[in-house]
Structure 1
Amino acid sequence: MKLGFIGCGNMATAMISGMINNHIVEATDIIASDASLQSLKNAEEKLGILTTSDNLTVATSVDVLFLSVKPQFYETVIKEIAQDIKKSTIIVTIAAGQSLKRVESLFERTLKLIRTMPNTPALVSEGITAVCRNDQVTEEEFTLVMNLLRGFGIAEEVPEHLMDAVVAVSGSSPAYVFILIEAMADAAVAEGMPRDKAYRFAAQAVLGSAKMVLETGMHPGALKDMVCSPGGTTIDAVQSLEKTGFRSSIMEAMKVCAEKSRKLS
C-alpha cells in the first residue's frame, strides 16, 4: 500500500511520524510533495520518506492520498490533479471547512472521499481524529484508513455536520491548552519556581488530569469536586477563575473557532 501527502507541513509530518513510529506503514511506502523545498528536505532527512515537488507524481502513484494543504489552497491543488486521479484512489482530506460535497465538486467527478480532522498531538501518538466518508468508500477501505489514522492516536467516525464542532473541541484546542500551560508556568515562576520545572509541573498536571477523565469515566465536574476540599486552596482558585470568566472565555473561543470553520466551506 502506497500513501501520498500533498503538503508536508506540521500536521502532515506529525501524522507520518506517528504512522512510521508505530509500524503502521514503512517510510519507503510514503511519498510527499510540498511547495517548500526546505520542508521536503526536512521530511526526507527526519522521516526517511520519498519526496517530490510535483503534486501530480504523488497523486497518480499512491493508493491513499492525503490532501494536507491549507483550506485556501484546496481549489488550486485539486484542479491540478483532478483529471489524473485514479478512480480507485482513496482521497483523505484534513482541512477545516472542506465538506465532502465541496471537495467532490472541485474534482468535478465522483471519487472515494474521506474527510478527517486530526490534531497536532499526533506528533506524540496522542492525536484524536474525527472521520466521515462518502458512499463510494467501502467498509474495507474505511477500515484501512481508520487503521492508518489510529497509527497516531484515536480515530472516531462522526456525522459530517459535527465537523465544525470537532475543529473547535480538538482540532484547534491544543493551542488553548498550550496557553493554559504557559500561563500556569508563568504563575509558578512568579512564585519562585525555576522555569523548566514550572513547565514540567504544569504540563504533567494537564496530562494527568486528562488521563483521569478518559480512564475513570467520571464527569469532569465530579473530578473537580474531588480536588476542592471545603475551605481549601483549590476552591479559592476556582472561585477566582469563575470571577474572571474562565469557562465563558473557553466556550466563546470555541464558538468563534467553529464559526470560522463553517465560513471556510
Structure 2
Amino acid sequence: MNVGFIGTGSMGTLLIEALVASGALAPAEIAISNRTYAKAQAIADRYPGMRAEYTNAETARGSDILFLCVKPHEFIHVVGDIKSVIQPQQIVVSITSPVLVSHLEGELNCKVAKIIPSITNMVWSGASLCIYGETMSEKDKKRLESLFAHISEPLRIEEDYTRIVSDLSSCGPAFMAFLLQQFVDAAVEETGIPRNEALQVAANMLLGTGLLLTEGRMSPEEIQERVAVPGGITAKALQLLRRETDGVFNSLIRTTHAKFNEDLVKVSTAFYGEEVNGQ
C-alpha cells in the first residue's frame, strides 16, 4: 500500500510517526510533501525509505490513500495542485473538521473521507473520528479503519456532529490538560510541594480515572459517588466545583462552534465563491 501525506505540520507529523511506530505502515510505503520542502525532507531523513516529494501532485500521483493535513484556508490551493492527477480508485482523506466531504467530492474525481485524529493517537490511544463520502464502499471504510485501529479506536460518526465530537476527542486533551495544570499549579502555590512530584501524582490519577471510565466501565457520576463520602472532604470540594464551573463548558462549546462556523464559511467561500450554510 502506498500512502501519501500532504502537510507535515503538527497533526500530519503525528500521524506519520504514530502509524510507522505502531507498524501500521512501513516508511517505504509513505510519500510526503509540504509547502516547505526542507521540512518534509527532514522527516523523511529520519525514516529510511520514506520519500519526500517536491510537489503535492507527485505525492498524490502514487498514493492509494492520500491524507490532506493542512489548515482550512490551504485546502483550495492543495486541491488545485492535485486535481489533475487524482484517479477514481484513490482515497483522499481530510483530517480538518471545517472541510466538508462535499467540498472535496465537488472538486476531486475520487473516493473521499474525513478522519479527525487526536493527539492521544501518538500513544496508540483515544479515538479517530471517521466520516465517509458517497462513493466509499464498505471495503474502503474497513481499509481505513484497519489502518487507524493500530493507533486508535476508529468511530464512525455523522458529519453533522463533527464539531462536538471533535471537542470531546481532539480538543478534549488540551482542555483536560489545562484543568490538570491549574490543579497542579494550585497545589504547588498553596502547599509548596515540588511541581514535578505533584504533576506525576496528578498525571497518574488522570490515567487511572480514564481506565475506570473505559476498562472499569464506570460512569463519571459513579466515580464521584465512590470517592465522595457524604459530608466528607471530596464532597465539600465537589460542591465548590459545581458552583464555580456552572455553565463554563456550555460557553466552551459555544466558542468552539462559533470558530468552526467561521472557518466553514471561509472554506465554503473559497470552494464555491460564495457563503453557504453547512454543518
For residue 267 of structure 2, what is the aligned residue in structure 1?
Answer: none
CA drift at 1:30: 0.7
Contact kept in structure 2, 1:117 and 1:166, CA below 8 Å: no
Number of residue-to-residue matches in the alignment: 262
For residue 233 of structure 2, what is the aligned residue in structure 1?
Answer: 233
TM-score scaled by length of structure 1: 0.93
For residue 69 of structure 2, what is the aligned residue in structure 1?
Answer: 68
For residue 193 of structure 2, what is the aligned residue in structure 1?
Answer: 193
Q: Does the alignment pair 1:20 with 2:20? A: yes
Contact kept in structure 2, 1:5 and 1:65, CA below 8 Å: yes
TM-score scaled by length of structure 2: 0.88
**CA 189–37 in structure 1, closer or farther in 2 if over 3 Å, else same:** farther
CA drift at 1:38: 4.9
Identity fraction in percent: 24
CA drift at 1:53: 3.3
For residue 159 of structure 1, what is the aligned residue in structure 2?
Answer: 158
Aligned-partner SS, 1:156: strand
Deviates more, 1:147-156 or 1:63-72: 147-156
CA drift at 1:47: 4.2
Task: Give the letter for the 1:241 counterpart.
Answer: L
**CA 57–110 in structure 1, closer or farther in 2 if over 3 Å, else same:** closer
CA drift at 1:37: 4.1
Deviates more, 1:51-60 or 1:247-256: 247-256
For residue 40 of structure 1, what is the aligned residue in structure 2?
Answer: 40
For residue 144 of structure 2, what is the aligned residue in structure 1?
Answer: 145
Q: Aligned runs of 1:110-129 on 2, under 5 Å? A: 110-129=109-128
For residue 178 of structure 1, what is the aligned residue in structure 2?
Answer: 177
For residue 206 of structure 1, what is the aligned residue in structure 2?
Answer: 206
Q: Aligned runs of 1:89-108 on 2, under 5 Å? A: 89-105=90-106, 107=107
For residue 271 of structure 2, what is the aligned residue in structure 1?
Answer: none
Deviates more, 1:63-72 or 1:198-207: 198-207
Rounded to whole Å, the distance in 2 between the matches of 1:214 and 1:258 is 27
For residue 78 of structure 1, what is the aligned residue in structure 2?
Answer: 79
Task: Give the letter for the 1:56 counterpart.
Answer: A
CA drift at 1:68: 0.5
Rounded to whole Å, the distance in 2 between the matches of 1:254 and 1:147 is 31
CA drift at 1:103: 1.8
Rounded to whole Å, the distance in 1 between the matches of 2:115 and 2:10 is 16
Rounded to whole Å, the distance in 2 between the matches of 1:47 and 1:225 is 49
Task: Give the letter for the 2:255 counterpart.
Answer: V
Task: Give the letter for the 1:63 counterpart.
Answer: D
Q: Does the alignment pair 1:216 with 2:216? A: yes
- The ranges of structure 1 where at least 4 consecutive aligned residues each deviate by more than 6 angstroms after the TM superposition are none
Aligned-partner SS, 1:115: strand
Q: Does the alignment pair 1:131 with 2:135? A: no
Calculate the aligned-residue CA RMSD, in Å: 1.6
Gaps of 5+ in 2: 265-279
